[in-house]
Amino acid sequence: MATKNRTQQKARPGQHKGNNGMNGAKNAKRPNGQGPRPKAANEAAKKPLPTEVIVGDYITVRDLATLMNRSPIDLIKVLMQFGIMAPITHNIDHDTAVIIGEELGVGIAWPEIEESDEEEEEDSDVPARRKTLVDQILESESEDNLVLRPPVVAVLGHVDHGKTTLLDRIRNTNVVDTEAGGITQRTGAYQVTINGQKITFIDTPGHEAFTSMRSRGAQVTDIVVLVVAADDGVMPQTKEAISHARAADVQIVVALNKVDKANANVQRVMEELSQEGLQPEEWGGETIVVPVSALQNTGIDDLLENILVVAELEEYKANPKGACAGTVIEAELDKYRGATATVLIQNGTLLKGDAVVVGTTWGRIKAMFDYEGNQISQAGPSTPVVLLGLQDVPKAGDVMARVRSDKDARRLSDERRQEAEEAAKRPSTRQVSLDDLFARFESGETKTLNLIVRADMQGTLEPVVASLSELKNEEVDIKILQAAIGNISESDVMLAEASDAIIIGFSVDVDRSAQVRAEASGVEIRLYNIIYKMIEDIEDALTGMLEPIYEDFTIGHAQVLQTFKLRRGFIAGCNVTDGIVKRNAQVRVLRDGAEIVSPTRIETLRRFTEDVAEVRTGFECGIKIANGDDQLQEGDVIEIFEKRRVR
């Protein structure tokens, strides 16, 4: 009998050999004939349940369950009680996390705001840069494990001042002849060696691409080489490049190119650089200015040596044995090799065969190539490599991180993709706006108002900048990141995105591309024609009294097909060409693009003989407007719009 019992115990599922008696005792204590408690569950049960956890703006159900030391099922049950059906990868906001915490007896707190060194803030001439994932990884590394790494250099400057030709001389290849019209069409990363030390160069099509990556949270550049032609001097794009480099808080080295030309005027260019705040070392300043001639191949070694001097002073470091992370410089779909990505490794060492997550995609590294096309097996900090093996093409600026396995990579990729989809559904929030600026000052989030100023002419720009600069006080500083003449461009919006800045336009217009990008990214643009009104708005923002502003948002258009005379006026038979037409909405009538009827409202909206609340694209309707209905003609366009508050 005893033998029979031992046999049954041995055959019972969920038990281990040699511990039948012990397992049987455990099973006897658990109801419903359940097997032994899993080891993970035992460990979780031993851990003390937290009384408070820290949660930011958003967190996934899985991560919140981990912080609370509870099963995700417990959290999902609470959400279901409130009518929320959420998987464990679902993002919940802070307020929802508070509700879950109340139900489970766990306090939910906001993360503490780190106070920066006041002296450092006072001495700095540039806005504080937002921390990237790579910054956070480096901060977690022990100082003892950090070693010097090669500097990463970006080449910026005015068009046709010789950026690509200079880089061509540096890396001893010929890129100019392969580009359409001699203008750089793509972003590349290259590495050179001088005196046994390496320098990584990033060749960008312009400062827009340089700042575009920063606006997406990527910070890869340590030093900017500003190329200025000695025969041309500081041009508008040169000034913009200086503004973008300063906003990125990177060192600037000036390469004074084309000094071999007969009409080169080095002294004049140095004066112009001084006016932009780049005082040359020869004149007692801190900016290194190196005369070079990319065409004659002179001064190149001197430029590289000066870059190494800056790198030695700044001591750029990384941990080759730490967590591996990098940033995508460019990516494309190759018809032979599939998805490829040029990645700059910023910490750790990437090995062939590693599983990685890049933005919302993932993969296992099948092969790696250096910038010359040679296959390599590993890449350390500041090394640009071309990766093969990704599932999809990532975006420039996406962060690459090494993970333990394909399973982890796939899971993280799916979570990021879902988070991105949910973020896309949420309305865009402004990075900073004047009417919420006071609240941010009060909470200690920021003590600097970053401005980009555009004016119609130089005589206007100077007093505008002077007036804005005078508004700063002991508590709040005002930084003019860029002040220039001309309409507000997409480049201005990109700079504002990357620097949390507000754009001030005085007697200028906004380019269409800039307007679209500003609306999508939440950058605030303020236009003025009266200087005291501009000053009042900034002052009101600093004291928390700014009134909200409202703008017209077009929601649809309808084309007049025919007009009918009624007892109470005219009604227009229309076809809705795009958007939506709403009853009581505000409208304006356009003829050949010009407004012929000032804004009024829709008095009657009908489909056939019935009154309706709205009519959508592709349908016909009858519209009667409150005023000016007798002016309607066949072919006129009725533009429907709404007044919306702009934050």
Q: Which of 2-6, 13-17, 589-593 has the highest mean pLDDT?
A: 589-593
- Average pLDDT score over the chain: 78
The DSSP secondary structure of 278-296, one letter per residue, reads: --BGGGTSSBEEEE-BTTT
Question: Which pLDDT does position 186 carry in this prediction?
Answer: 43
Share above pLDDT 90 across residues of the chain, in percent, rounded to a whole number: 15
Amino acid at 272: E
* 551-646 has the same fold as 325-418: yes
Q: Which band of pLDDT confidence, cut at 50, 70 and 90, is reported for residue 543?
A: low
Top-confidence residue, 26 or 541: 541
Q: How far apart are CA 225 and CA 229, in angstroms?
A: 13
Question: Computed from CA positions of residues 417, 422, 424, 425, in that sequence, does the dihedral angle turn out positive or negative?
Answer: positive
Lowest mean pLDDT among 189-198, 199-208, 550-559: 199-208
Q: What is the mean pLDDT of residues 457-486?
A: 78
Q: How far apart are CA 345 and CA 373, in angstroms?
A: 17
Lowest mean pLDDT among 149-153, 347-351, 443-447: 443-447
First vs last Cα of the chain: how many Å apart? 82
- Considering only CA atoms, which of 48, 76, 47, 45 is closest in space to residue 60? 76
- Third-level CATH fold of 325-418: Elongation Factor Tu (Ef-tu); domain 3 (2.40.30)
Q: How far apart are CA 154 and CA 156, in angstroms?
A: 6
Provide the whole-model pTM. 0.55
Res 379 pLDDT > 60: yes
Question: Which pLDDT does position 442 carry in this prediction?
Answer: 55
Question: Which pLDDT does position 371 carry in this prediction?
Answer: 82
Lowest mean pLDDT among 337-341, 440-444, 578-582: 440-444
Q: Which residues does 110 contact at the CB level (< 8 Å), separation at least 6?
A: 54, 55, 56, 94
Q: How far apart are CA 94 and CA 465, in angstroms?
A: 40
For residue 165 the two structure tokens come to: 């030709």
pLDDT in tens, 489-541: 888 888 888 778 889 998 888 888 888 888 887 888 888 888 878 888 887 77
pLDDT in tens, 95-137: 788 888 888 888 888 775 443 343 333 434 434 444 555 667 7
Query: 2.40.30.10, 3.40.50.300, 3.40.50.2300, 2.40.50.140: which CATH number matches 551-646?
Result: 2.40.30.10
Q: How far apart are CA 335 and CA 2, in angstroms?
A: 71
Top-confidence residue, 238 or 568: 238
Question: Which pLDDT does position 480 carry in this prediction?
Answer: 85
Question: Computed from CA positions of residues 379, 353, 374, 185, in that sequence, does the dihedral angle turn out positive or negative?
Answer: negative
Res 583 pLDDT > 60: yes
In three-state secondary structure terms, 260 is: coil
Q: How distant is the alpha carbon of residue 465 from its chain centre?
A: 27
| Beta-carbon count within 10 A of 99 CB | 16
Q: What is the mean pLDDT of residues 217-226?
A: 80
Res 359 pLDDT > 90: no
Question: Which pLDDT does position 24 carry in this prediction?
Answer: 40
Segments making up each domain of the chain, as ranges = 2-37, 52-109, 150-315, 325-418, 434-547, 551-646
What are the residues facing 343 on neighbouring strands?
Answer: 328, 385
Q: What is the mean pLDDT of residues 356-384?
A: 90
Question: Which pLDDT does position 35 carry in this prediction?
Answer: 47
Q: Which band of pLDDT confidence, cut at 50, 70 and 90, is reported for residue 218?
A: low
Q: How far apart are CA 144 and CA 68, in angstroms?
A: 33
Tell me the angle at which helices 207-215 and 236-247 cross, rounded to the nearest 10 degrees. Answer: 30
Domain 434-547 CATH superfamily: Translation initiation factor IF- 2, domain 3 (3.40.50.10050)
Res 56 pLDDT > 70: yes
Q: How far apart are CA 199 and CA 363, in angstroms?
A: 28
CB 616 within 8 A of CB 571: no
* CATH number listed for the domain at residues 150-315: 3.40.50.300
- Considering only CA atoms, which of 213, 287, 203 is closest in space to residue 247? 213
